[in-house]
Amino acid sequence: MNTFKVSYLASVCAAILTVTGCSELPTDSKQTAAVEHAEHTSEQHLFALNQVSLSASPFLHAQQTNVRYLLALHPDQLLTPYLREAGLEPKAPNYGNWESTGLDGHIGGHYLSALSLAWAATGDEELKQRLDYMLSELDRAQQATGGYLGGIPNGDEMWQQIEKGEIKADLFSLNDRWVPLYNIDKIFHGLRDAYDVAGSDKAKQMLFKLGEWFLATTAKLTDEQVQQMLYSEHGGLNDVFADMYFISDDERYLKLARQFSHNIIIEPLLHKEDKLTGLHANTQIPKIIGMLKVANASDDKAWQQGADFFWKTVSQERSVSIGGNSVREHFHNKSDFTPMVEDVEGPETCNTYNMMKLSKLLFLKTGDTRYLDYYERATYNHILSSQHPEHGGLVYFTSMRPGHYRMYSSVQDSMWCCVGSGIENHSKYGELIYSNTGKELWVNLFIPSTLNWQQQGLQITQDSQFPDDNKVSLTVNRLSEGQSTESVIHIRKPSWQQGELSFTLNGQAVSATEKDGYYSISYAWQSGDKLAFELSPKLYTEQLPDGQHYYSVMYGPVVMATKVQAFANEQLNFVADNSRMGHIAAGPTCPPEALPIMLSEPEKFIADLTRKPGQELAFIADKNVAIAKQGIDNTKSTELIPFFRLHDSRYQVYWPQQSEAEFTQFVADAKAAEQAKEQLRLLTVDQITPGEQQPEVEHDFKGEGTRAGVNNGHHWRDATGWFEYQLSNPEQKAVALRIRYFIGDVNRQFSINLNGEQLAGVSLPVGKPTDEFYTIDYPLTEAMKKSKTLTLRFAADKDSVAGGIYGIRLINAQ
């Protein structure tokens, strides 16, 4: 039997055992598990969430805040899309925002996962009642359809088309629906979590009923047709199908998982080639989670290595200090992080949610602590910081642009993808604090908590106030009377630790062996035994991965950030409205002259920081700092605090670094660049980046015979047929349409039409361009200028191609 499958079944049963009282592994794996686990002790196993209870800390506070957010959501409104599509009468109007603009039902799937995780983590019975109610109503909808369960608008019509092999796929649409495979992926995962986290047999039955429907719907599709479907964003369908195989031992689901693995993404990874630049980041990460599960299920070493190559590439070459990646949702060129510090739409929280899942899987398979180093960094700096500590609002984009800020969700108005993943995030802090390899315990994270390890008759309480205080202790209590037996506790040595750790047991020094990133202590543990040690985190700077002179200050795994005052008496709104793009912090950017600048070499800057007196971690920078509007000789001290504590403010994670001699010119150059951007912003009435999801969805993209791609980091779209968008001209100030082209596109003829009237006939190239990318302005007619909404269509001439179009900008006369 496959070792990973046994491990997975053991972990599922561990969760269900603790939650429901189940006492045995599934019958096909019960005896094998004992043998194979003994032979493969390097594989780590998780504890069930309800075996680990958090103690007072920012993590417990976040968990409790998230429970309030979950209970503030209205189940009947989340259920409405499912009941509607099943032909049943909804009990409440559906939510707005993304829940009523084509992605109807996606939050409902996340809600099942979130309730399951939160109940397992807290034992709050109100959460269990919510979960049971959701499942009961969804079961009613599923019975009405005979197996299907989804909120996709007019989904039945679409699935009938798919079943017949009528497939029309684009990056973010399938058969004219907004990412329906991504949408149904959420309910698949929600039902899976309701079973293997919360132990619901009803959820298991519903999951496999939905699985049978999916198998039947796709049964006649060729592999080529499936790959065509996978061109559209589809979440982690291969991930959940692999899990269904682990649960059921039904080979059809393993076959389905491999069939729904996206070959065009996987193939380069098998050859250790990074082809990620320009791709929508969070579309790719779930695919690789599924890739790894398929690899583990079939013992495919090449796929395992490919998944690990992806992890290395993203975590080490494409991520910033908080553990996040991407700008405007896409992977930029890894040799140029300029977009990261210039654009306001920085790392997306969903990406890190999925990268942590991938890191966890890789750690459990290998025991390698480098995955924990990333997981820990991402936990403190991106996930924990993405929740508002008071109202519980969740963050979509965490801007790395110095001096910018973040927007938080409104519980009743914001239904973004990062709300769906966000309501799951804050119930999972206990999942990887501890792990085991049978009888040996591994302490992976320094988060105050209590582990109830019933299988070994032990309770372990970890006391810590890290990062405010570096002392950590583990107190052992036996859960039952009887003779103690010797067992091993392994303590992770983090990569940021300075020097070696020293341990005391009941106040007396005790030796530990160090191997593979852990200190190991073997002892016959008695109730009341206390193992203590003190961490020594390194204080250092971390440069942008491309080598630009921007530095993030780190204390161990914790990013230290500073508040920025850009404008006097500024009043920013930090809570999103219900608009389609409310998740973007669209306010003014911070002028360069208001930013703190690092004026020394990074090592000296760090050496001159002083720890601020008090219980909470903070440092003071009162040397080597300049703010242009104050002048070098008139600087004030700057406070750095953990980024996860910085909210409702502009902030700076990455410090620009210049010498005093370069400082004045740096600020002048930065101001000139910002002024040019501001002039373009003032000139712009509306704009679209073709081929990017959010701009295209926002502008109601439609098309026939069209495709999109990336050219050296520049997104484009073209068509052998046509494609169109809706442009806004609310104040009727637009006078021209500016189109961006690529010099390499030649012998292409097409028309540009606005509101059905031809604006221009185009033959590429236009004129004799000398720049690789060039723009052409097309003046609007008087009738076009008077229209508040403009339907822009690019239509190819016969046997030709329209585009590529690399940028669209409606401009005024300013």
pLDDT tens column, 396-440: 999 999 999 999 999 999 999 999 999 999 999 999 999 999 999
Q: Are 649 and 405 in contact (CB under 8 A)?
A: yes
Look up tokens 């791609």; give the residue.
709
**For residue 27, pLDDT beyond 60:** no
Q: Are 117 and 424 in contact (CB under 8 A)?
A: yes
**For residue 662, pLDDT beyond 90:** no
Question: 685-812: which CATH topology?
Answer: Jelly Rolls (2.60.120)
* pLDDT of 580: 85
Look up tokens 């403190």; give the residue.
380
User: CA 301, CA 295: separation in Å to the nearest integer?
Assistant: 7
Q: Which two tokens stand for residue 645?
A: 């504590």
Contacts of 413 (CB under 8 A, 6+ apart): 96, 97, 576, 577, 578, 582
Average pLDDT over residues 756-776: 95
User: CA 489, CA 107: separation in Å to the nearest integer?
Assistant: 40
**For residue 34, pLDDT beyond 60:** no
Q: What is the dihedral of CA 384, 390, 392, 393, to 10 degrees?
A: -100
* pLDDT of 629: 63
**Domain boundaries, given as residue ranges, for the chain:** 1-40, 434-464+471-534, 539-658, 685-812
Listing DSSP states for 24-52 in one string gives S--TTTHHHHHHHHHH-TTS-EEPPGGGE
28-32, 510-514, 720-724: which has the minimum mean pLDDT?
A: 28-32
Q: Are 184 and 224 in contact (CB under 8 A)?
A: no
Nearest Cα neighbor of 276 from 307, 308, 313 is 313
Average pLDDT over residues 115-141: 99
Identity of residue 381: N
Continuous segment of H or E residues that includes residue 130: helix 125-145
Nearest Cα neighbor of 386 from 412, 431, 417 is 417
User: CA 814, CA 812: separation in Å to the nearest integer?
Assistant: 6
**For residue 572, pLDDT beyond 80:** yes
Q: Which two tokens stand for residue 597?
A: 């600048």
* pLDDT of 28: 34
310-314, 325-329, 495-499, 563-567: which has the minimum mean pLDDT?
A: 563-567
Annotate 536-565 with three-state secondary structure: CECEEEEECCCCCCEEEEEECCEEEEEECC
**Which pLDDT band holds residue 39 (cuts at 50, 70, 90)?**
very low
Question: Helix or strand or coil: residue 628?
Answer: coil
**Which pLDDT band holds residue 486 (cuts at 50, 70, 90)?**
confident
User: CA 525, CA 484: separation in Å to the nearest integer?
Assistant: 6
| Phi and psi, residue 591, nearest 5° | -65, 145
**For residue 671, pLDDT beyond 90:** no
| C-alpha pair distances (Å), 745 with each of 689, 771, 804 | 18, 13, 7
Per-residue pLDDT tens over the stretch 598-656? 999 999 999 999 999 989 999 999 888 888 666 554 457 899 999 999 999 999 999 99
* pLDDT of 11: 54
* pLDDT of 344: 96
- The 177-178 sheet, strands edge to edge: 169-170, 173-174, 177-178
Query: What is the architecture of the domain spanning 434-464+471-534?
Result: Sandwich (2.60)
What's the whole-number average pLDDT of the chain? 93
The larger pLDDT score, comparing residue 668 to residue 511, is at 511
Q: Are 136 and 75 in contact (CB under 8 A)?
A: no
Q: Which two tokens stand for residue 574?
A: 């930090």
The larger pLDDT score, comparing residue 678 to residue 545, is at 545
The larger pLDDT score, comparing residue 487 to residue 75, is at 75
Q: Report the chain's C-alpha Rg in angstroms.
A: 27
| C-alpha pair distances (Å), 287 with each of 75, 150, 317 | 29, 21, 19
**For residue 320, pLDDT beyond 60:** yes
Nearest Cα neighbor of 588 from 572, 577, 574, 576 is 572
Question: Helix or strand or coil: residue 99?
Answer: helix
Look up tokens 């630009």; give the residue.
548
User: Which residues share a beta bridge with 490?
Assistant: 442, 520
Q: How far apart are the first and last CA of the chain?
A: 71
**Which pLDDT band holds residue 191 (cuts at 50, 70, 90)?**
very high
**Sign of the alpha-carbon dihedral angle for 408, 413, 417, 422:** positive
**Which pLDDT band holds residue 813 (cuts at 50, 70, 90)?**
confident
Nearest Cα neighbor of 349 from 397, 390, 281 is 397
- In the chain, what are the helix, strand and coil shares in percent, each to the nearest 5? 40, 25, 35
**Which pLDDT band holds residue 29 (cuts at 50, 70, 90)?**
very low
Q: Are 373 and 360 in contact (CB under 8 A)?
A: no
Q: What is the dihedral of CA 303, 305, 310, 315, to 10 degrees?
A: 140
**For residue 760, pLDDT beyond 90:** yes
Q: Which two tokens stand for residue 484?
A: 């103690």
Q: Are 105 and 97 in contact (CB under 8 A)?
A: no
User: CA 473, CA 460: separation in Å to the nearest integer?
Assistant: 10
Nearest Cα neighbor of 163 from 103, 121, 214 is 214
DSSP state of 662: H
Q: Which two tokens stand for residue 293?
A: 């599960």
| Other Cβ atoms within 10 Å of 701 Cβ, number | 23
**For residue 808, pLDDT beyond 60:** yes
* pLDDT of 399: 98
Per-residue pLDDT tens over the stretch 521-550? 999 999 999 999 999 999 999 999 999 999
The gap from C-alpha 569 to its chain's centroid, in whole angstroms, comes to: 34
| Other Cβ atoms within 10 Å of 35 Cβ, number | 11
**Which pLDDT band holds residue 383 (cuts at 50, 70, 90)?**
very high
* pLDDT of 17: 47
User: CA 464, CA 234: separation in Å to the nearest integer?
Assistant: 41
Nearest Cα neighbor of 218 from 148, 294, 162, 287 is 162
Per-residue pLDDT tens over the stretch 271-296? 999 999 999 999 999 999 999 999 99
Annotate 693-733 with three-state secondary structure: HHHHHHCCCEEEEEEEEEECCEEEEEEEEEEEEEEECCCCC
User: CA 344, CA 641: separation in Å to the nearest integer?
Assistant: 21
